């Protein structure tokens, strides 16, 4: 640490865009306080990040680490949103090949701290060898971390976790009412990914190794929103768990949206205040053809104006293409805006005409919506989305679309009813009110600053120089 107390910190997020954005947000906030940040990623990922304001240039440094080659991974796979689950496996294998270059890089940066995501399970060991203090920065919420539980169970393999059905049971260490946070259809969608096979390292192993070997767990969370879960994570892992605030996004535009935003804004301006449903499922999740059809007919039936960010591809093969029902666009002309490109989500959510957000409950989307007081209608697909949704449902800021627990199906009627409930019906006023009430926990800058200062004080007072090893 420099004599003036300024830190040198490296950040190494997982390559998915939904991870990079909150990591960048945290990096910007720390750099604004004059600390030196080294944001490490592959060249293509760094090139697709939003541009920084010039005043950050002297404290936030992008460091490009070359993407290793692995077979079966298409060109550009690390920097696209059109990637299959199988390819995500290969991408993780590729990141595992970065161990030696990463060691050399970290050594050359004279760091006080390094923070990593859940994928680079080998990084705590490297940091320890280099005598660099290190932490896991979790963009996953405290409820998700609490839910996946004690690391040793995960590393050694849990006898109870043999089937997707087992995965849906609320773990014995969760003493809260969030029951059945993982639903059967969601468990089936991803079970093979989290449990792994001989040739792959499972996500459970990665999480387990990281959580048990890091010095500190920093979480995108705040005590006022989920105190009991933060305490649970601390109890489970017996190490400091520091909430860094919800990191409300300030700018996530990766492309110059000047012209497109003009046409989007023109359309939004014509709609009544609070009337539009905004629909987007983040950078990875994509509805199947059946789901997409029901959403489309549900929108038609609801009669509500909508702005829909639609990804047509669910996987790399042409057979994975999904299509809107015949005549949908003509029938909803004027009332609906279907956007097939990367949308300026933050700007859209900030617009007054948006009255609710049909979301998969990826945490960045949730933070972005709630900072602008938009209530949520939730359709989850897998991973942390399910437990996020349960917590949001308990807090009454989100309404979960009723689905068949076995196969996850839902009807166009329930889609239409859910949208109307949250946006217009008297019975759904509670969602609209609660979203307003809670928005300060997500978007308030002073609160965010307090969390950040608390985090930085911890980093400054716990380093090798001070003997806290
Ligand atoms: N996003 C966007 N335009 C799009 C789709 C997504 O700007 O067309 C952004 C969105 O604003 C959010 C991020 O991508 O910042 C998605 O993150 P989230 O955690 O919601 O979902 P994930 O992609 O991790 O599933």
The answer to whether 68 and 98 have CB atoms below 8 angstroms apart is: yes
Q: ipTM score of the complex?
A: 0.99
The answer to whether 311 and 283 have CB atoms below 8 angstroms apart is: no
Residue among 364, 379, 383, 398 to mutate when testing ligand 1 (max atoms within 8 A of CB) = 364
Residue among 249, 362, 372, 386 to mutate when testing ligand 1 (max atoms within 8 A of CB) = 362
Ordered mean pLDDT values, 10 residues apiece, the chain (469 residues): 87 93 96 97 92 92 93 78 75 93 97 97 97 97 90 65 81 78 81 68 87 96 93 95 94 71 94 98 89 97 97 69 92 94 92 98 96 97 91 95 90 98 98 97 95 97 62
Give me the residue label for tokens 């939904």: 18
CA distance 409 to 266: 35
3-state secondary structure of 243: strand
14 lines ligand 1 (CB under 6 A): no
Angle between helices 412-423 and 289-302 (to 10 degrees): 50
337 lines ligand 1 (CB under 6 A): no
C-alpha 2 – ligand 1 centre gap (Å): 36
Instruction: State the DSSP string of 268-323.
Output: HHHSPTT-EEEEE-TTT----HHHHHHHHHHHHHH---EEEE---BSSSSGGGB--
Q: Which of 114, 100, 123 is nearest to 39 (CA)?
A: 114
3-state secondary structure of 338: strand
Residue nearest to atom 13 of ligand 1 (CA): 18
Half-sphere exposure of 23 (CA within 13 A, CB side): 29
Residue nearest to atom 5 of ligand 1 (CA): 282
Half-sphere exposure of 75 (CA within 13 A, CB side): 0
The answer to whether 38 and 59 have CB atoms below 8 angstroms apart is: no
Give me the residue label for tokens 């090139």: 47
135 lines ligand 1 (CB under 6 A): no
CA distance 52 to 450: 23
343 lines ligand 1 (CB under 6 A): yes
Q: Look up the pTM and report it.
A: 0.93
- Per residue in 298-328, pLDDT (tens digit) is 999 999 999 999 987 666 666 677 899 999 9
Residue among 16, 339, 345, 398 to mutate when testing ligand 1 (max atoms within 8 A of CB) = 345
Strand 60-64's sheet: what is its strand order?
60-64, 36-41, 8-12, 113-116, 133-138, 216-219, 241-243
The answer to whether 389 and 378 have CB atoms below 8 angstroms apart is: yes
What's the full length of the chain, in residues?
469
The answer to whether 164 and 187 have CB atoms below 8 angstroms apart is: yes
249 lines ligand 1 (CB under 6 A): yes
Q: Which of 388, 369, 370 is nearest to 379 (CA)?
A: 388
- Per residue in 234-245, pLDDT (tens digit) is 999 999 999 999
283 lines ligand 1 (CB under 6 A): yes
CA distance 122 to 136: 12
The Cβ of residue 59 has, within 10 Å, a number of other Cβ atoms equal to 17
C-alpha 426 – ligand 1 centre gap (Å): 30
CA distance 259 to 469: 53
3-state secondary structure of 266: helix
C-alpha 115 – ligand 1 centre gap (Å): 22
248 lines ligand 1 (CB under 6 A): no
The answer to whether 283 and 17 have CB atoms below 8 angstroms apart is: yes
- Beta-bridged to residue 63, according to DSSP, are 40
Cα-based distances in Å from 26 to 13, 80, 145, 395: 11, 22, 19, 26
C-alpha 365 – ligand 1 centre gap (Å): 6
285 lines ligand 1 (CB under 6 A): yes
pLDDT at 467: 45
285-292: long-range contacts (C-beta < 8 A, 24 or more apart)?
A: 285/360, 285/362, 285/381, 285/382, 285/385, 286/311, 286/313, 286/314, 286/322, 287/314, 287/322, 287/379, 287/381, 288/314, 288/322, 289/322, 289/323, 290/409, 291/379, 291/410, 292/322, 292/323, 292/324
Q: What is the DSSP letter of 119?
A: S
CA distance 453 to 446: 11
Mean pLDDT, the chain, rounded, equals: 90
């Amino acid at each position: 640490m420099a004599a003036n107390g300024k830190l040198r910190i490296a950040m190494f997020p997982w390559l998915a865009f939904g991870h990079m954005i909150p990591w960048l947000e945290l990096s910007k906030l720390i750099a604004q306080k004059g600390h030196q940040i080294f944001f490490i990623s592959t060249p293509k990922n760094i090139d697709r990040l939003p541009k920084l304001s010039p005043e950050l240039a002297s404290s936030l440094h992008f460091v490009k680490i070359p993407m290793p080659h692995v077979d079966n991974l298409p060109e550009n796979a690390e920097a696209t949103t059109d990637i299959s689950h199988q390819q995500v496996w290969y991408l993780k294998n590729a990141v595992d090949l970065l161990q030696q270059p990463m060691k050399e890089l970290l050594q050359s940066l004279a760091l006080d701290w390094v923070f990593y995501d859940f994928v680079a399970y080998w990084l705590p060991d490297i940091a320890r060898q280099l005598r660099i203090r290190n932490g896991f920065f979790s963009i996953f919420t405290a409820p998700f971390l609490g839910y996946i539980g004690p690391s040793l169970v995960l590393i050694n393999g849990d006898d109870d976790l043999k089937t997707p059905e087992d995965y849906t049971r609320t773990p014995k260490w969760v003493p809260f009412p969030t029951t059945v946070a993982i639903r059967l259809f969601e468990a089936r969608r991803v079970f093979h990914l989290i449990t792994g096979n001989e040739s792959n390292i499972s996500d459970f192993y990665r999480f387990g190794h990281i959580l048990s070997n890091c010095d500190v767990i920093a979480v995108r969370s705040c005590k006022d929103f989920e105190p009991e879960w933060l305490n649970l994570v601390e109890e489970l892992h017996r190490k400091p768990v520091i909430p860094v605030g919800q990191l409300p996004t300030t700018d996530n535009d990766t492309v110059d949206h000047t012209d497109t935003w003009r046409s989007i804004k023109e359309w939004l301006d014509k709609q009544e205040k609070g009337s539009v449903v905004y629909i987007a499922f983040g950078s990875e999740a994509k509805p199947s053809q059946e789901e997409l059809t029901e959403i489309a007919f549900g929108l038609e039936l609801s009669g509500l104006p909508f702005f829909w960010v639609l990804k047509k591809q669910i996987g790399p093969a042409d057979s994975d293409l999904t299509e809107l029902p015949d005549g949908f666009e003509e029938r909803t002309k004027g009332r609906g805006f279907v956007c097939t490109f990367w949308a300026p989500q933050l700007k859209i959510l900030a617009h007054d005409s948006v009255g609710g957000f049909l979301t998969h409950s990826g945490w960045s989307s949730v933070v972005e919506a709630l900072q602008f007081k938009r209530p949520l209608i939730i359709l989850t697909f897998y991973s942390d989305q399910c437990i996020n949704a349960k917590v949001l449902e308990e807090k009454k800021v989100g309404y979960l679309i009723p689905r068949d627990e076995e196969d996850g199906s839902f009807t166009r009627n329930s889609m239409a009813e859910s949208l109307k409930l949250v946006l217009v019906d008297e019975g759904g006023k509670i969602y609209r009110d609660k979203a307003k009430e809670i928005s300060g926990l997500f978007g308030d800058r002073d609160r965010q600053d307090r969390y950040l200062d608390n985090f930085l004080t911890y980093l400054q007072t716990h380093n090798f120089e001070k003997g806290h090893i």
